[in-house]
Structure 1
């Protein structure tokens, strides 16, 4: 039986140098037979280190599913994936969890904080799993960096939505991952709070040097990134750099 996994003499194209995400012909299908649904249909993607990439698309276009397979939350049905130096092709649940550790941070629309843990404990857990020598001290530093130095002992239910997302951001960036995946990070927040979180996220990315993959339906938010891809029906239909005012050449 043959395998689609790249060998030592067959590197995944774009998997070296300053490329932190290299995906080739990635597919994702759910169900079998007549009930089978093809969600991703042969996606190719390269993302450079330090890049801010936005993925736009209507509901059901496959953008969140693409993030799930690239971040290791979901196993792709086919294709090859290299993320932050880890070959994620064909890995099972345990292998994907190990590949994510220390390499990938994730912020979701639903904050997914552990309700029985304080803000400090929520941030400290991934630091401890990543082998940090003093996770509680590092967690305090991360919470201070997102403006929550006075809320470390509070539980998620005692925090506002904006504060919970700050904790989620601190938790994601604490282990200094090479890549931050953010799926509609302001979706559960009001406009003013969402703007504050976005500004904070971009500032922390600048400080930590992490690459950003942002899933959003907001074209204005996408325009803050370096590059925008648009998905439709499980495929990438456009891929272009963001044109900023300073980049425009007068006619």
Structure 2
């Protein structure tokens, strides 16, 4: 039994209006996002797929993965994609006390903005863009307490949720279902969630190239979260 909505219900969006669920526009702009990386081989593969369509995306990174794989993290920035905070250890906000949750997010922010991992020159200049983008945050599992969210907003964070969930992480759906989750629910302004993780790769490997192909043919434009 599924415990999630593939298409976020409009009532949820109305109940939580301070979270960003989509970014309405009339220009067929959509926003691919990837959670849980950077992950060796998988994130690099994602970057290659995006590059074939000159598609830009936003990567919500886990701090410990940034620290473990700075070269992949730097490559995300080098390719012109945006970076968001996804906590340092993929914490569930509902199961974590407020102080610990906020501290964990700060650890991730420090990893994002740790400029000693950024080479000098042009990439160093691009890292300034990365610094600004670190003020977008997606809670793992979409689970965050109201008090935690208030504190994050006071720190300047914008909380990014989603309009369309690919469900690539779900081992009980087929790769064809994963693809259909995206292409049948995407509309102008949709924020779409994929995962550049080992668990999701079976579905991602099939769905992402076909998603890019299908949506490109339908004149959608892939952009970074513009905050």
- Same-fold status (TM-score > 0.5): no
Give TM-score scaled by structure 1 length. Answer: 0.28
Higher helix fraction: Structure 1 or Structure 2?
Answer: 2
Of structures 1 and 2, the one scoring higher in RCO (CA 8 A, sep 6+) is 2
Give the greater-gyration-radius structure (CA): 1
